Chains A and B, each alone.
Chain A
């Protein structure tokens, strides 16, 4: 394998890993703070993705005018669709807005995901704090089905592609970008943006927990909920907010992943299994563990899908993640960075 190929696979790994890391980060926030195992987290990722789909559909709502001078291929007068936004903001600006639908939908996703998170926590999850983990898994599993079906009823069962903005749909010469001589790797620009975005979100979450009073209380609560409760701090309200933030992180990851993988209602379930594996490998309740394991497993998956790896062990790309998860769970039950005692016994 030459250097170019290695770099390409590293990029592939970081690309997959950034999605895994963001979902796992949210799962861990929920698990670490609320002690709840959320099987609906993949569904939140999917809802985020459909925020982008919705915005694109709204932006492309059009007036239909009939142009008598032209005809379509059947010989009827041509119907011209003009999106309202082009009517309102002028053709060029309107087209640009539509083109940037995916990044713009972040603005939509923020309030939507926060509201969904708060409603979900107050309405359902709250009542399951004291129930066994199996019940939490089951009820959120049911919720995941319900969310998936609602999306299916609204958008249909097919995949809903939304492209990245034109200017980001091309490829970037990574060697030139990094200023490295002799590297000849081109990579889709949007995927690079997605990685950078994931990095920003991860850094934001960590700084938030590290440097704000709110974050300190939450971290203390993660370590020892009872004591923090005894200090007279209303930890419950903070935990509601943490749940909303976790939902937001999943949703934003979903938005950014739309141009890479067109979402369908099944997207949530597809990502859920993997992200739980990531959480367990990283160590239940460990935020750095979740992020590290996300990227690690992404990289492993990327390198396992090279012809070289597949030549040595056919099918390794399909099972590498599970094999790693099983080995880690058996040899290091706490995961890579988990604390002792979390979910043991």
Chain B
């Protein structure tokens, strides 16, 4: 179906069902129960799941396939965000032009950065991208945020962040259209609430827009993975030198992968702005680049589903772990005598609440050390060992061997 083989089609359908049913699946606990705070089915968080999913899917096309480790993709995320808000300021709140422009801007930006950075490989490439992203961040934060060319706040509005003001032109804005981001009149914030027994489910317009876009770009990435183009990119990762002696000009291939992943990042940035029309320079900071690296590798670089899974997990645990405060932990261990419970609580508390980054860092290290294919790669490996008899053949064709090697 859709030009995919059976396994891929099943995977796509599976991802589509999970994504579209997320508002229900993410809210397993009744509203009144004490566990309701672990529900993740509210619009803001679900939007983040899919938007960062898009970011990671795109990053995987570069890192997962070619092995080029970029530490600068946040620059494209930020550029997309700014571009989208500018479209709001100039033309009005319809999100479509903003999203389109964010992809174009990020694409142009990534051609420039990619063309230069890809003249080097390995660690030099990583550091070049890092330098470019930090430079973009510094520029967006300071110089480009100062008044210039008669623009108050310049291109980025510096520390405050770029946002829409009432005196902006918004030339296509009509009185009938909502005064906040919308798609042909449907506001992104519109949420339809479905009460079912003790449960409450929120179906949000913005989430469904992002979810459908994510499914489309996930499908596109599947096509890339299975295409001759994708095969060439995987060959770049294994042995770029041999590929050159095989009559393939690897430079344009890596640049194409870089630009595609940059456009995915721009799309994600544009969607972030479309959900919340505010773009700040911190989206360009290298820690944001680090985040997408974490997502992709945690889930499994070079696998199709891994990055989406990684993005979902990180965003989920970011919200859930950071909610587990001392009080909740004490509640959990209240059945124990205080002298036993207190040390347990204080140790666990290191890893939860504001300390959830510690958990993330540790899990990430464990994955890099023991599961070079990420969680998905590990699962596939375990599955293969379990179903040795003939099952291996099918699996081999559908999943590229997940390894995370440096581009040589």
Contacts and interface: CB of A to CB of B under 8 A. Distances in A.
Task: Establish whether A and B are touching in the complex (CB under 8 Å).
Answer: yes
A150 B131 CA distance: 27
A201 to B, nearest CB: 25
Contact of B350 (A138, A153, A343): A153
Contact of A276 (B67, B122, B127, B132): B127
Given A145-B357, A280-B127, A322 B134 contact: yes
Q: Which of B135, B354, B407 has the most CB of A within 10 A?
A: B135
Contacts of A139: 365, 368-369
Interface in A29-81: 37
Helix, strand, loop or mixed for chain A's interface? helix
B123 to A, nearest CB: 5
Nearest to B363: A142
Contact of B361 (A127, A146, A277, A325): A146
Interface string B275-290: 0000000000011001
Interface in A255-300: 269, 273, 276-277, 280, 284
Interface residues of B, number: 47
Interface in A196-231: none
B142 A318 contact: yes
B367 to A, nearest CB: 8
B142 A145 contact: no
Contacts of B122: 133, 343
A345 B241 contact: yes
Given A149-B361, A150-B358, A314 B146 contact: yes
A8 interface: no
Given A133-B123, A343-B123, A138 B361 contact: no
Contacts, number: 124
B295 interface: no
Chain A residues touching B, range = 35 or more
Interface string B354-366: 1101101110110
A134 B404 contact: yes
Contact of B138 (A152, A284, A318): A318
A138 B404 contact: yes
A276 to B, nearest CB: 5
A315 interface: yes
Contact of A137 (B126, B144, B355, B372): B126
Contact of B355 (A135, A141, A149): A149
Contacts of A146: 358, 361-362, 365
B364 A145 contact: yes
Contacts of A133: 122-123, 406
A319 interface: yes
B361 A145 contact: yes
Contacts of B139: 315, 318-319
B405 interface: yes
Interface in B371-394: 372
B130 interface: yes
A326 B128 contact: yes
B357 A322 contact: no
B134 A273 contact: yes
Contacts of B407: 134
Nearest to A321: B131
A322 B286 CA distance: 13
A153 B406 contact: no
A277 B405 contact: no
A132 B131 contact: no
Contacts of B131: 273, 277, 322, 325-326
A343 B124 contact: yes
A138 B297 contact: yes
A142 B67 CA distance: 19
A322 B143 contact: no
A148 to B, nearest CB: 8
A50 B129 CA distance: 30
Nearest to A279: B127
Nearest to B372: A135
A143 interface: yes
A314 B142 CA distance: 9
Interface of B: 67, 69, 116, 119-120, 122-124, 126-128, 130-132, 134-135, 138-139, 141-144, 146, 241, 286-287, 290, 293, 297, 350, 354-355, 357-358, 360-362, 364-365, 368-369, 372, 404-408
12 contacts: A134-B406, A135-B372, A135-B405, A138-B297, A138-B404, A142-B368, A145-B360, A153-B355, A273-B134, A280-B127, A315-B139, A315-B143
Given A142-B368, A143-B365, 7 more contacts: A135-B368, A137-B123, A139-B365, A276-B127, A326-B132, A329-B120, A329-B127
